[in-house]
A and B are shown apart, each in its own frame.
Chain A
């Protein structure tokens, strides 16, 4: 078990090293700033090594020569600046589905903001039992436990809110326009970059807990996707032609989402509708909506204040609370 003060020291050490490959600091300076001896500093370097950060020492200089792209507790915390979200992190190298584990933890009273993250999912789930392709080390697969005191009828707004937070954090961090395909897919350049699966445990009048599951394609190359998905799916790396630190993206998303979530708990989804509409893919386009057994054709007119999709159809306006939208 690593002590908390050691974690903090290692974290500060990483910051001193400049947090990137090629970054460095003088041995003496590091010792002075962290108030540690040379052997203690070597221990910290060893600790960092275990989390994927390789430090090399030569001629009184310390250099960061390798930055592992891990999404473990340490790496996430290094970037995290939230109050509630991610204060408790369960990270796994491999897991069936982060949503399933988060659900179990929530049933065992996991606190609000608990994050379950995995380098690899062996049974990643999408909507209605569809599987989600989640290969190791390239994507960001995580789930968040929420416990809002709201009626179940208002919980569906969280589905949209997650998509908004995700699109905003992708756009501000990667400088790449991210759109929302109603209700909660995240698209870049018309292709799916992220999917969200929100699961609710409720009574008739109150929410027990909500699990927000996110699968974000970060560092996949084209060949990482199965052939049938290549025309429909994309990753941040494919679109920006560079690799990204997954832990940093997760931390930024948690920050953005926490900020939105605090307002959502007070005033619901309505204040966000305009912003979501602004980011909406397919606005004004002719689409079909497959909702359960019904298929409706119409033009996307926008969103209702509760987040329902509004379609203009031949027989009048249609309000969709669920369904899959496809372009005609």
Chain B
């Protein structure tokens, strides 16, 4: 799910009287819960907001940031974007290991995933050398044109 969407959802919860919001789109689902301090939903609620994927009761009760593990210096990250609409696959076959994982260092020209549309397989390569910091797209799910599939910290 895109960060922009999550930010907007948090704002909606923050500015309203509702205590929790569950939101679902093609990219996944998220639940945002507002913890009410002494029954009041006063300003500065941002630190009392917890977000975690819906349907995961074991998720942490609170985190210091409203965003799930916001990577450092996000503005310096380089996205690998999808060149087409299709289904995103992180591995060459259903039972194979993913091409890359968070934390891996990739070289320019290294294949990081496959986008499939109508049995046309597009092997996506990294254009830069860098460390995979985040994989915002979910394997086996549709992606849009231009959508960020990976965020890379250039090295």
Contacts and interface: CB of A to CB of B under 8 A. Distances in A.
A152 B138 CA distance: 21
A199 interface: yes
Interface in B80-124: 81, 83-89, 92-94, 96, 116-123
Nearest to B82: A204
A157 B120 CA distance: 9
Contact of A292 (B87, B119, B120): B87
A3 B100 CA distance: 50
B89 A292 contact: yes
A196 B81 CA distance: 26
A128 B142 contact: no
Contact of B86 (A196, A199, A293, A321): A321
A156 B86 CA distance: 9
Contacts of A159: 117-120
Contacts of A323: 87
A204 B121 contact: no
B84 A155 contact: yes
Contact of A200 (B87, B88, B120, B139): B120
B42 to A, nearest CB: 40
Interface in B51-89: 81, 83-89
Contacts of B85: 153, 321
A215 to B, nearest CB: 13
Given A130-B93, A292-B142, A198 B83 contact: no
Contact of B121 (A157, A197, A203): A197
Given A159-B118, A184-B119, A196-B119, A202 B94 contact: no
B119 A198 contact: yes
Contacts of B11: none
Interface string A189-211: 00000001111111111000010
A291 interface: yes
A127 interface: yes
Contacts of A160: 118
A14 interface: no
Contacts of A292: 87-89, 139-142
A129 B119 CA distance: 12
B60 to A, nearest CB: 25
B119 A321 contact: no
A128 B86 contact: no
A6 interface: no
Contacts of B120: 155-156, 158-159, 198-200, 210
A293 B83 contact: no
Quick one: which of B116, B117, B140 has the most chain A CB within 10 A?
Answer: B117
A171 interface: no
Contact of A203 (B83, B86, B138): B83
Given A128-B89, A321-B117, A322-B87, A202 B122 contact: yes
B81 A204 contact: yes
B137 to A, nearest CB: 11
Given A156-B84, A292-B87, A128 B94 contact: yes
A321 B87 contact: yes
Nearest to A152: B83
A196 B142 CA distance: 22
A49 to B, nearest CB: 41
Interface in A123-168: 127-130, 151-153, 155-160
Contact of B140 (A182, A200, A201, A293): A293
A74 B84 CA distance: 39
A313 to B, nearest CB: 15
B122 A152 contact: yes
A153 B145 contact: yes
A298 interface: no
A108 interface: no
Interface of B: 81, 83-89, 92-94, 96, 116-123, 138-142, 145-146
Interface of A: 127-130, 151-153, 155-160, 182-184, 196-205, 210, 291-294, 307-308, 321-323
17 contacts: A127-B116, A127-B121, A128-B94, A152-B83, A152-B84, A152-B122, A155-B122, A182-B118, A199-B121, A291-B142, A292-B89, A293-B138, A294-B140, A307-B118, A321-B118, A321-B142, A322-B117
